[in-house]
Amino acid sequence: MPVTQSSRAAAFDFRHRERTPAAHPQPCGAGKPHSTAPRPSGHKPPALRLRRPVFGRAACVLALCLGGGLLQAADLSVSVKGVASDSGQVMLALYADEAEFLKSAHQSQRTVASARDAQGSLRFVFKDLPPGRYAVSGFHDRNGNGELDSNLFGVPSEPLGFSNGATSFFGPPGFAKAAITVGSVDQHIDIPLQ
Amino acid sequence: MQTQPSHALSDPNTVPGCARRRFLQAFAGLGLGAIAGLHVQPSTAAPSSHAWHSSYAPWDAPGFAGAIETPALAMTGKAPEALRGSFYRNGPARFGRSGQRLSHWFDGDGMVQRFRIDGAQVAHQGRMLDTAKSRAEAQQGRFLYSGFGSQVANARPMLRPDDANPANINLLSMDGGRRLYALWEAGSALQIDPDSLQTLGPKAWSSETAGAPFSAHPREARDGSIWNFGYLPASGRLLIYHIGADGRVLRHRMIQVPQADMVHDFAITERHLVFLLQPLLADPQADGQANLLAAFSWDSGAPLLACVVSKADFSQRWVELPNAGLFHIGNAWEEGNTLRLGFVQHDNLLGALRDFDVSAGHTQRETLGTRWTELALQPSTGRHQVLSSGRSGLRGVEFPRHDQRRTGQASELTVLLQRSAAWQAATVLGFDRVLVLDGERQQHFDYGGGFLVEEHVLVPHPQHSDERAGWVLGTAYHWPSETTVLSVFAAGHVGDGPLAQWRLPYGLPLGLHGQFVAA
């Protein structure tokens, strides 16, 4: 008899890949410039790409989707908590809809784990986001290979976390559980790594 | 964690020592004949929860240092001279920490028991498993995971199974007993020292399979190699392992299959693996901080799917069976293009899962809704035949065992536990009878009032190939005296009662599965 594939199988193959091309992003906060190996392209083409001037603090915007809501754009600052060691890097991805969740980051940032503070936190900022629903995932890439390592079932072997502290069993939560609403006011969220 | 063995569980004043001595004396005076003749209903004077609570209370008591032993057990009867080896058992033991309680049977931290049997001499050792979970929880001073069916306040989400792995279901012995592993099912096997029972650490069979689930029911093929599988709820896949007798992975393969959200057991035959995939479905978006049981639902309109996997190329063929649930499969074998197997069929598997509440210790149901079912599958046509289902009173059964020398080939004896008719109206959760099927015939032994019977295994006679020449071996917990007894029966004559029994001065935590390793 034909075997119906479980629709859940795909969800367990999630990889926290940064889909945007290597642009030697500046680390956020203090820290040395971090050079990256060439990354495969294949990100979702943005409606408009803007090259932003770099200010005193880092801005790691790699693609920006502009809509009519520019005047209402807000900053989303993210504290990644529980970075337990200095090894490797911490990678963060912002998703703007369910279709791209954990497949293709709307924006992504990374920084060396050694930039963590005394409490093991790292702060990132996604600037000027148009209003909407966004989900954020982050992980500690301890071995610096740019990927969320996992076992054969896709169970991650490196610490990771999601906005809203969203969880599900043995795999990633859905976009809806992780999504937060960005309005016209700057906001801050925590992502505890687990 | 302290590891020095101690004879005493805790302050003797905190347990009913006087009462226990009286029971033991009464026990000694009864003799085997009287024990065999007891047909007393479980006492309604002792609350039904006492039976289960009392078996677990010693293991979270402050005085328990993690290990216990008795060098020589008192014996009655006559032990078979040729019975030599170690009977290991595994099961949940610790359910309390800092005032918190785990309620579900599957969630207690694992503890391994060893009965070292040398003819008449039997020694006991028991030791808590040292898992990542128990270490983290000891450090934090509280339970951290709700696990399968419990509810822990401020629980961590169960993202990585090995973080929450209590290793509490079964054991695997390899290399003539030199290597021993405590098994869970949603995470890694845990290697332990077969002599001291100390935990050595999680087992990675290969770098690729490290950290992947390894089921509690591996099966040894005739050539000494081990077949096993792993599942993960809501993954849509099974991982198959074929491990050589030397412990190295020969092959592994992920297959994509439906209805694999809880797969506890499987069977092997000469050329195939057989999975019975039940429609117990996990909601992949269930809250990771709640327990896993809350994520499950049962699809009563879906079939039980028999998935027959070729050992040669892992190709799959399917047979649709009527809706049913299960935990355990007995033996299976091929007869031409037909595949024969027996399994314990559950008519309300999800209800049974919800019923294993050891904090209550009683069952909501009067009957255990199971029956022994024998099937003939024809994978080439997708057809099947139900050879028998609940025949001759084979209802209210569980924990099937067969002669492991015959795994995958035609075998004759099946050992089962049963909740007898005398107990069906009682409220204590558990079994009172051990039963042996031999073709159309069966024999049984009723332990009688106050006993909760645990899995009994078939032990082959070292010099005889006839299954009936061996023994049936198992434990039972006597809750009025809070002591555990080990019994050995002639495999062909269980109805005659035990050949010998050995009594512990304490009770063991009501556990799950065990293995006999010949000396």
**B296 → chain A, closest CA residue:** A169
Which helix (H) or strand (E) is A26 found in, with range? none
Residue % of chain A over a pLDDT of 70: 63
Nearest one of B353, B346, B297, B300 to B323, comparing CA atoms: B300
The β-bridge partners of A94 are: A107, A136
Of A8, A9, A169, the CB nearest to B288: A169
pLDDT digits (tens, 9 = 90+) for B169-214: 999 999 999 999 999 999 999 999 999 999 999 999 999 999 999 9
Question: Apex CA B17: angle with CA B14 and CA B22, to 5°?
Answer: 155
pLDDT digits (tens, 9 = 90+) for A87-130: 999 999 999 999 999 989 999 999 999 999 999 999 999 999 99
State the DSSP code for A13. Answer: G
B518 token code pair:
């010949």
Predicted confidence band of residue B33 (pLDDT cuts 50, 70, 90):
very low
Q: Please, which residues have CB within 8 angstroms of residue B233's CB and are 6 or more apart in sequence?
A: A169, A170, B186, B261, B262, B282, B292, B295
Q: Which residue shows structure tokens 């929880």? A: B137
Could you write out the DSSP letters of every residue in B482-503? TEEEEEEEETT-GGG--SEEEE
Chain A residues lying within 8 Å of B212, measured CB to CB: 151-153, 155
- For residues A130-136, give the mean pLDDT: 95
Report CB contact under 8 Å: B286, A171. no
Predicted pLDDT at B312: 98
**Chain B contact for A192 (CB, 8 A cutoff):** no
CB-based contact B259:B301 (threshold 8 Å): no
Report CB contact under 8 Å: B258, A1. no
Check residues B256 and A173 and name the one with the higher pLDDT: B256
Predicted confidence band of residue B424 (pLDDT cuts 50, 70, 90):
low
CB-based contact A172:A137 (threshold 8 Å): yes
Chain B residues lying within 8 Å of A153, measured CB to CB: 212-213, 230, 232, 235, 237, 239
Residue % of chain B over a pLDDT of 70: 88
Report CB contact under 8 Å: A5, B236. yes
Report CB contact under 8 Å: A154, B235. yes
B178-187: buried (b, 16+ CB within 10 Å) or exposed (e) per residue? ebbbbbbbbb
B49 phi-psi bin (left φ>0, alpha ψ -120 to 50, beta other): alpha
User: From the CA of B289, how many Å to the nearest CA of chain A?
Assistant: 7
Predicted confidence band of residue A19 (pLDDT cuts 50, 70, 90):
very low
Predicted pLDDT at B321: 98
Report CB contact under 8 Å: A1, B213. no
> pTM to 2 decimals?
0.84
CB-based contact A83:A194 (threshold 8 Å): no
pLDDT digits (tens, 9 = 90+) for B105-136: 999 999 999 999 998 999 999 999 999 999 99
Chain A residues lying within 8 Å of B161, measured CB to CB: 155, 170
Chain B residues lying within 8 Å of A13, measured CB to CB: none
Cβ-based interface (< 8 Å): residues of B facing A: 156-161, 186, 208-213, 230, 232-237, 239, 252, 254, 256-258, 260, 282, 284-289, 292, 295, 316, 318, 320, 382
CB-based contact B131:B199 (threshold 8 Å): yes
pLDDT digits (tens, 9 = 90+) for A157-170: 899 999 998 887 76
A70 token code pair:
């520019």
Report CB contact under 8 Å: B233, A169. yes
Average confidence score pLDDT of chain B: 89
Predicted pLDDT at B420: 86
User: From the CA of B283, how many Å to the nearest CA of chain A?
Assistant: 9
Q: Which amino acid is at B391?
A: R
Report CB contact under 8 Å: B256, A4. no
Report CB contact under 8 Å: B211, A151. yes
**B379 → chain A, closest CA residue:** A1
In whole angstroms, what is the distance from residue B336 CA to residue B148 CA? Answer: 41
Backbone angles phi, psi at B139, to 5 degrees: -70, -40
- For residues B37-41, give the mean pLDDT: 37
pLDDT digits (tens, 9 = 90+) for B438-495: 999 999 999 998 899 999 999 999 999 999 999 999 999 999 999 999 999 999 999 9
Which helix (H) or strand (E) is B354 found in, with range? helix B349-355
Predicted pLDDT at B361: 57
Predicted pLDDT at A59: 33
Check residues A181 and A43 and name the one with the higher pLDDT: A181
Predicted pLDDT at B360: 66
In whole angstroms, what is the distance from residue B414 CA to residue B400 CA? Answer: 6
Report CB contact under 8 Å: A8, B235. yes
**Chain B contact for A4 (CB, 8 A cutoff):** yes
Chain A stretch 12-71, residues whose beta carbon is closer than 8 A to a beta carbon of chain B: 12
User: From the CA of B285, how many Å to the nearest CA of chain A?
Assistant: 6
Check residues B23 and B186 and name the one with the higher pLDDT: B186
**What is the ipTM metric for this complex?**
0.78
Could you write out the DSSP letters of every residue in B200-218? EEE--SSTTTTT----S--
Report CB contact under 8 Å: B285, A173. yes
User: From the CA of A146, how many Å to the nearest CA of chain B?
Assistant: 19
Per-residue pLDDT at B16 exceeds 60: no
Chain A residues lying within 8 Å of B233, measured CB to CB: 169-170
**Chain B contact for A1 (CB, 8 A cutoff):** yes
- For residues B423-443, give the mean pLDDT: 87
Per-residue pLDDT at B70 exceeds 60: yes
Backbone angles phi, psi at B378, to 5 degrees: -120, 90
Which helix (H) or strand (E) is A123 found in, with range? strand A122-129
Of B210, B285, B320, the CB nearest to A174: B285
Report CB contact under 8 Å: A8, B284. yes
Per-residue pLDDT at B27 exceeds 50: no
Nearest one of B9, B40, B11, B106 to B480, comparing CA atoms: B40
User: From the CA of A193, how many Å to the nearest CA of chain B?
Assistant: 11
Chain A residues lying within 8 Å of B156, measured CB to CB: 194
CB-based contact B318:B339 (threshold 8 Å): no
Check residues B144 and A2 and name the one with the higher pLDDT: B144
Q: Pairing relation of β-strands B272-277 and B267-268?
A: antiparallel
Per-residue pLDDT at B234 exceeds 80: yes
Predicted confidence band of residue B366 (pLDDT cuts 50, 70, 90):
low
**A4 → chain B, closest CA residue:** B258
In whole angstroms, what is the distance from residue B428 CA to residue B355 CA? Answer: 11
In whole angstroms, what is the distance from residue A20 CA to residue A6 CA? Answer: 30
Report CB contact under 8 Å: A1, B210. no
Q: Please, which residues have CB within 8 angstroms of residue A63's CB and are 6 or more apart in sequence?
A: A20, A43, A44, A46, A49, A106, A107
Predicted pLDDT at B24: 35
Predicted pLDDT at B406: 98
Residue % of chain A over a pLDDT of 90: 51
- For residues B8-36, give the mean pLDDT: 35
Predicted pLDDT at B363: 55
Size of interface A-B (CB pairs under 8 A): 105
**Chain B contact for A143 (CB, 8 A cutoff):** no
Interface test with A, best of B285, B299, B315 (most A CBs within 10 A): B285
pLDDT digits (tens, 9 = 90+) for B390-418: 998 899 999 999 999 999 999 999 999 99
Predicted pLDDT at B47: 56
Per-residue pLDDT at A25 exceeds 70: no
Report CB contact under 8 Å: B287, A167. yes
pLDDT digits (tens, 9 = 90+) for B313-336: 999 999 999 999 999 999 999 999
Of B158, B256, B292, the CB nearest to A9: B256
Burial (Cβ within 10 Å: 0-12, 13-18, ≥19) of residue A54: exposed
Per-residue pLDDT at A28 exceeds 60: no
- For residues B229-248, give the mean pLDDT: 96
Of B233, B257, B318, the CB nearest to A170: B233
| Of the listed ranges A57-61, A109-113, B269-273, B492-496, the one predicted with least confidence | A57-61
CB-based contact B206:B253 (threshold 8 Å): no
